[in-house]
Structure 1
Amino acid sequence: MCLLHVQMALSDTLTKHDHAIEQVVDRLLRQYRDLSKKPDIVPLVEFVELPKYLHNFEWDEAKFSSGDTLEEIESAVMELVARTEDDLKIRLNDYTTTKQAVAGIERRNQGNLMTKSLVGIVKEDEYLETEHMRTVFIVVPSYNLDEFLSSYESLAAMVIPRSAKVLTSDSDYALVSVTLFKKCEEEFKVACRERRFTVRDFKFKADDIQASEEEYARLRTELEDQHVNFVKWCETIFGEAVIAQMHLKAVRSFVESVLRYGLPVNFEVAMILPQAKAESRLRAALQEMYGHLGGNWASSSEKDGETTAIPGIAQEDFYPYVFSFLNIQT
């Protein structure tokens, strides 16, 4: 049996760790619901629904041996919490990175002509590049298209006459190709910017279309695989985290009960799930049943209407019984 000062210190750390694992369980549940797109779903724990698992909770010797010290059990639980937090961070980062990569490709393929990828739009016979000449591609606002077509030959000294071709357009812009000598390319770009025509930085490569399609398909497959594995992982680890949480609460209840009532051990632990808005009535009933166990602490706290701190008792509010809150998601 732990010495008194050891149990008092353990009570403090158990309170902190109880809050820590509660936050991890909550994050796992929120992540699982976000991935599943089901805001009310709760994973099973030990193949049963969460309330049923809690109702039938028994100490699991295979996971946490009762032969271990209380500190060892607490340490095992917090090692699980640390691993879970690290794994969750890594998996979420990988999933988010892949998701953003897929979204980036989709934006490039679905945006307007100012941002949309020109791969697949510009055909091989619409592009020319030699030692001295090159085709450039200009995005022109639709309302300025006539102005551009009538003036582009004068925007630089060595623009090929009548080389402009309108390749495609959307509701706001037109994509125009112009062939010019490379030595005047920068001059042409500057003149376009001054008139708010945008020269797209694009060079045609025959393999780009296939490479782009393959990259998108690869990322989509990778994202789907990560999603499936992430959902399964959240589902499994949520159950393990809840199991660890319940064992930690059992240890906390034991430690605080020994500190409260002393030895030999003569107390029982119960889980009560009050109906909505019935907590105050439940508190009153419990106070009537167990108020005598609180002694002067209970009477002074009840009389003053204020929380009374009790050395070694890790509770935000004092009751004549050991109390630990458990947020049950249903």
Structure 2
Amino acid sequence: MDAVAEYLFLSLPQSADAKEWLEQQLNSGKSPIYQLKFPDFQIGTLDSLIQESEELSKIDLLLVLAISKVVDILSNVLETPTGSFSNKVVNSKLVLDYVEKFQWNTSKYRLDNPVTQLVKVIADEALVLDSDVRASYQSYQTAKLNFLAADRKKNGDLSIKSLHEIVRPEQFVLNSDHLITVLIAVPKSLVDDFKKTYETLTQFVVPRSAELISSDSEYSLFGITLFKKYQQEFYSAAREKKWHPRTDFTYLEEVLDNLRKEFDMTRAAETKTKNDLIRLARTAYSDIFSCWVHIKTLRVYVESVLRYGLPPKFDFFLIKFTANSLKDVSKVKKELIAKFGYLGGNQHSQNQNLHEYASLVDTEYDPFVIYELPIV
């Protein structure tokens, strides 16, 4: 799914002039810059950070897919454009406001827990929600299909239409050990042939038993009485004639009563599952997106420690691109490399081992920490 806005999450070693340059010189000052603060994370050992870096990369991707799925579901159910994000809310804020004013949720993700534990808690929360939305969407799809099937039965032609509002008991032979009345929907163009041949289609068709029950623009529905023994044979011969046996219908009061209720029941079920899904998906979007930004923040922090060393002294910036400026993303990245490319050199690393750790973590090694956060 294409992004309709995007942020670059950028981490740089602390510098007096970095923010000023980003605001005034980067992309000729056209890209809004926001500076956020990292909380004090319990980082553990460098070896554990390398493992968390790999784990964070995988979780980051999973959450991108989860958010895209939720957006797709909401767009399909609400029948709105997938690119419309103006009404998407995260923690009671519009999504762009939430990103630009992001603060770590210390009450939910306590900072006295190590990074390893924080990653697990956040990821588990998001992935459970993703699973719940997918299950709810499947329930809605099933309810929708059931309703559409009931709607076809209610409003379709006589070859598929539910017949509970059409037939009457006096049109059927009931409670007979040997005789049965079957229903055949005959295309209008074949009615004359039907009247001439139905009595001889099989043995023991009751002569002149065909009764016109109903007609629509395409079909005439007839009831024919014959011996039960020849029912299936009659159906097969009717199909060869291009007639449509209504084998789905049996005249029983209990069945008719269920058919009378089917449309209203399936419509109610479709409406309920749709409303339940919309509520869940909106909540899930808010919570999964929040989890994603927390994971992205952790990823930037972990990579910054691996890149720039200890103690952690680096600044966290967001660079914003709207729908009209997405084309500038690659240009901005080139400008950043031109300005801060020296950070990839050995002269920057306070600890040569840290720099080697960093090169092991990212196969596409940038001279600074930078990640994309697309808004879909």
If the length of structure 1 is used for normalisation, what is the TM-score?
0.88
1:210 aligns with 2:257: yes
CA distance in 1, matches of 2:106, 2:334: 36
Between stretches 272-281 and 238-247, larger displacement belongs to 272-281
CA distance in 2, matches of 1:113, 1:262: 76
- In structure 2, the partner of 1:41 is 84
Alignment gaps of 5+ in structure 1: 299-308
1:95 aligns with 2:113: no
- In structure 2, the partner of 1:293 is 343
SS, match of residue 318 in structure 2: coil
Instruction: Report the CA distance between 1:58 and its aligned residue.
Output: 0.7
Question: Residues 187, 18 of structure 1: CA spacing in aligned structure 2 closer, same or farther, 3 A cutoff?
Answer: closer
Q: Which residues of 2 match residues 9-88 of structure 1 at below 5 A?
A: 9-39=51-81, 40-42=83-85, 43-88=88-133
Equivalent of 1:111 in 150, 153, 156:
156
CA offsets 1:304-324 (integer angstroms, 9 cap, x no match): xxxxx9653544533322011
Equivalent of 1:276 in 326, 329, 337:
326
SS, match of residue 315 in structure 2: coil
SS, match of residue 131 in structure 1: coil
Question: Residues 186, 231 of structure 1: CA spacing in aligned structure 2 closer, same or farther, 3 A cutoff?
Answer: closer
- In structure 2, the partner of 1:301 is none
CA distance in 1, matches of 2:229, 2:334: 90
- In structure 2, the partner of 1:223 is 270
Instruction: Report the CA distance between 1:193 and its aligned residue.
Output: 4.1
Give the conservation status (yes or no) of the 8 Å contact 1:11–1:312: no
Alignment gaps of 5+ in structure 2: 1-42, 349-354
CA offsets 1:134-187 (integer angstroms, 9 cap, x no match): 222122232221122123233344333322222222333221112234345455
Equivalent of 1:136 in 182, 199, 203:
182
SS, match of residue 109 in structure 1: helix
Give the conservation status (yes or no) of the 8 Å contact 1:113–1:170: yes
Letter in 1 for 2:375: I
Give the conservation status (yes or no) of the 8 Å contact 2:133–2:280: no
- In structure 1, the partner of 2:217 is 171
Question: Residues 229, 187 of structure 1: CA spacing in aligned structure 2 closer, same or farther, 3 A cutoff?
Answer: closer
CA distance in 2, matches of 1:297, 1:222: 66
Which structure exhibits the higher relative contact order, with contacts defined as CA atoms closer than 8 Å and separated by 6 or more residues?
2
CA distance in 2, matches of 1:75, 1:41: 31
Give the conservation status (yes or no) of the 8 Å contact 1:167–1:175: yes
- In structure 1, the partner of 2:371 is 324
1:145 aligns with 2:191: yes
SS, match of residue 140 in structure 1: strand
Question: Residues 206, 321 of structure 1: CA spacing in aligned structure 2 closer, same or farther, 3 A cutoff?
Answer: same
Letter in 2 for 1:269: F
CA distance in 1, matches of 2:235, 2:327: 70
Letter in 1 for 2:84: I
Letter in 2 for 1:279: V
Letter in 1 for 2:186: V
Instruction: Report the CA distance between 1:14 and its aligned residue.
Output: 1.1
CA distance in 2, matches of 1:47, 1:81: 18
Letter in 2 for 1:317: E
Letter in 1 for 2:298: V
Question: Residues 93, 133 of structure 1: CA spacing in aligned structure 2 closer, same or farther, 3 A cutoff?
Answer: same
Question: Residues 263, 310 of structure 1: CA spacing in aligned structure 2 closer, same or farther, 3 A cutoff?
Answer: closer
CA offsets 1:253-293 (integer angstroms, 9 cap, x no match): 11111110101111011110132322233224323432222
After superposition, the CA RMSD in angstroms is: 2.4
Give the conservation status (yes or no) of the 8 Å contact 1:133–1:179: yes
Letter in 2 for 1:47: S
Give the conservation status (yes or no) of the 8 Å contact 1:21–1:81: yes
Question: Residues 212, 78 of structure 1: CA spacing in aligned structure 2 closer, same or farther, 3 A cutoff?
Answer: same
Question: Residues 196, 72 of structure 1: CA spacing in aligned structure 2 closer, same or farther, 3 A cutoff?
Answer: same
Sequence identity percentage:
27
Between stretches 35-44 and 91-100, larger displacement belongs to 35-44
